[in-house]
């Protein structure tokens, strides 16, 4: 049985121990697909409310949002403080529970390059200054990175582990339009390749089960993402949560979630096609609370992983 090359394997080999991701959520960050710059309402599956939790932590920042052209950021100190508080709390839990020794700070919620350059620089440098932090992982959209930010990250990456995570989702423009993504596939390819040209590590998020996509289309997305040079991949099934546009489509029957068997089938082939050096960060996703509307097989992660390994066994792979 061949063990699939995981991101965990990659980090362990490089740093000699398990490296823990510390997920951070900074108030004042938003997304151009929510603030009206490219669209309003966000991607049809995105529960925008779920990102507003952090604003409760720093009350003064309620209603304050940055974008690429913000002239000033009066709340930078508060954001830096918030970053420290979150890092300290989460890394302490990971140390206490698992004996964690090294960390990657993961700028996770919203679009984490969508702010003036000085703000990004201050936050990234602060994160890298924390003890035992080996690098950063920055989740973003391909239409929200600038050449200046990429050049700067490329410089940082000479000594630190720097990853940019791009939401690819699909390479089909009709699908991207249908999910209100706000950018097209050419934009994705352009900016992923710009990041790769600078030697940055790129992770791509792919979603299987998007509206009107066939198995062939899902596999074509995986193939093109591999061809664009991604170094790591996250595979997700599309699931429906309450208070989203997708929930309305699901309620009126215009969206039918992917069946578990179909997901396993696509995932197995996507993994078989994957170049060996591309590490895998995630093979599924889900949520185990009342916000999940469908599909129900996305609720329990352990069962999902068992089913995935069962499906992979037939082709000699193990996750
Ligand atoms: S790009 Fe991300 S944060 Fe923005 S609307 Fe889509 S899923 Fe939500």
At 194-228, the pLDDT tens digits run 999 999 999 999 999 999 999 999 999 999 999 99
Please report the pLDDT score of residue 146 as a whole number.
Answer: 98
- 42 C-alpha vs ligand 1 centroid, how far in Å? 6
| Cβ–Cβ < 8 Å for 179, 205 | no
- 315 C-alpha vs ligand 1 centroid, how far in Å? 35
Question: Cβ(222) to ligand 1 under 6 A?
Answer: no
H or E stretch at 197: helix 185-197
The closest-lying atom of ligand 1 relative to the alpha carbon of residue 34 is 5
Question: Cβ(207) to ligand 1 under 6 A?
Answer: no
Question: Cβ(29) to ligand 1 under 6 A?
Answer: no
Angle in degrees, CA 215, 219, 223, rounded to 5: 170
- 30 C-alpha vs ligand 1 centroid, how far in Å? 9
Question: Cβ(141) to ligand 1 under 6 A?
Answer: yes
Q: Are strands 232-237 and 161-169 parallel, antiparallel or unpaired?
A: unpaired
Question: Cβ(237) to ligand 1 under 6 A?
Answer: no
The closest-lying atom of ligand 1 relative to the alpha carbon of residue 42 is 5
Question: Cβ(32) to ligand 1 under 6 A?
Answer: no
Please report the pLDDT score of residue 53 as a whole number.
Answer: 43
The closest-lying atom of ligand 1 relative to the alpha carbon of residue 32 is 4
- 110 C-alpha vs ligand 1 centroid, how far in Å? 6
Please report the pLDDT score of residue 50 as a whole number.
Answer: 46
In the DSSP assignment, the letter for residue 61 is G
> What are the chain's domains?
2-318 (3.30.750.200)
In the DSSP assignment, the letter for residue 258 is P
CA dist., res. 256 & res. 262, Å (int): 12
Question: Cβ(33) to ligand 1 under 6 A?
Answer: yes
Question: Cβ(31) to ligand 1 under 6 A?
Answer: yes
Of all protein residues, the one whose alpha carbon is nearest to atom 6 of ligand 1 is 43
- 212 C-alpha vs ligand 1 centroid, how far in Å? 20
- The DSSP result for 124-185, as a single string, is HHHHHHSTTEEEEEEEE-GGG--HHHHHHHHHHTTTSEEEEEEEEE-S-HHHHHHTT-SS-H
| Cβ–Cβ < 8 Å for 237, 298 | yes
| pLDDT beneath 50, residues of the chain | 50-55
pTM of the model: 0.95
- 109 C-alpha vs ligand 1 centroid, how far in Å? 9
Of all protein residues, the one whose alpha carbon is nearest to atom 8 of ligand 1 is 46
CA dist., res. 245 & res. 254, Å (int): 11
Of all protein residues, the one whose alpha carbon is nearest to atom 4 of ligand 1 is 31
Question: Cβ(297) to ligand 1 under 6 A?
Answer: no
- The DSSP result for 31-54, as a single string, is -TTTBSSS-BS-STT--GGGGGGG
Of all protein residues, the one whose alpha carbon is nearest to atom 5 of ligand 1 is 42
CA dist., res. 226 & res. 211, Å (int): 22
User: What are 210's two structure tokens?
Assistant: 């998007």
pLDDT in tens, 49-67: 644 444 455 667 888 899 9
The closest-lying atom of ligand 1 relative to the alpha carbon of residue 48 is 8
3-state secondary structure of 242: coil
């Amino acid at each position: 049985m061949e063990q699939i090359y995981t991101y965990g394997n990659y980090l362990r080999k490089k740093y000699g121990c398990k490296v823990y991701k510390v997920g951070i959520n900074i108030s004042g960050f938003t997304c151009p697909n929510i603030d009206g710059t490219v669209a309003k309402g966000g991607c049809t599956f995105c529960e925008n409310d779920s990102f507003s939790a952090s604003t409760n932590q720093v009350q003064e920042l309620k209603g304050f949002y940055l974008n690429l052209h913000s002239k000033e950021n009066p709340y930078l100190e508060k954001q830096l403080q918030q970053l420290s508080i979150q890092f300290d709390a989460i890394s302490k839990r990971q140390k206490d529970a698992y004996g964690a020794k090294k960390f990657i700070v993961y700028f996770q919620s919203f679009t984490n390059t969508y702010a003036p350059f000085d703000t990004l620089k201050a936050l990234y440098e602060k994160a890298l200054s924390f003890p035992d932090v080996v690098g950063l992982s920055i989740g973003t959209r391909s239409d929200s990175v600038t050449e200046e930010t990429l050049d700067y990250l490329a410089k940082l990456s000479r000594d630190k582990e720097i990853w940019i995570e791009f939401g690819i989702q699909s390479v089909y423009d009709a699908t991207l339009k249908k999910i209100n993504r706000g950018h097209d596939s050419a934009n994705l390819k352009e900016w992923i390749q710009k990041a790769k040209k600078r030697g940055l590590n790129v992770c791509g998020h792919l979603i299987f089960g998007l509206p009107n996509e066939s198995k062939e289309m899902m596999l074509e997305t995986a193939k093109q993402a591999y061809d664009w040079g991604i170094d790591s991949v996250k595979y997700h099934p599309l699931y429906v949560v309450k208070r989203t546009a997708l929930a309305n489509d699901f309620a009126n029957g215009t969206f039918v979630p992917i069946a578990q068997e179909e997901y396993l089938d696509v995932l197995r082939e996507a993994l078989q096609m994957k170049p060996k050096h591309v590490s895998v960060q995630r093979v599924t996703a889900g949520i185990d609370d009342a916000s999940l509307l469908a599909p129900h097989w996305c609720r329990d992660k352990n069962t999902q992983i068992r089913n995935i390994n069962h499906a992979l066994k037939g082709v000699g792979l193990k996750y």
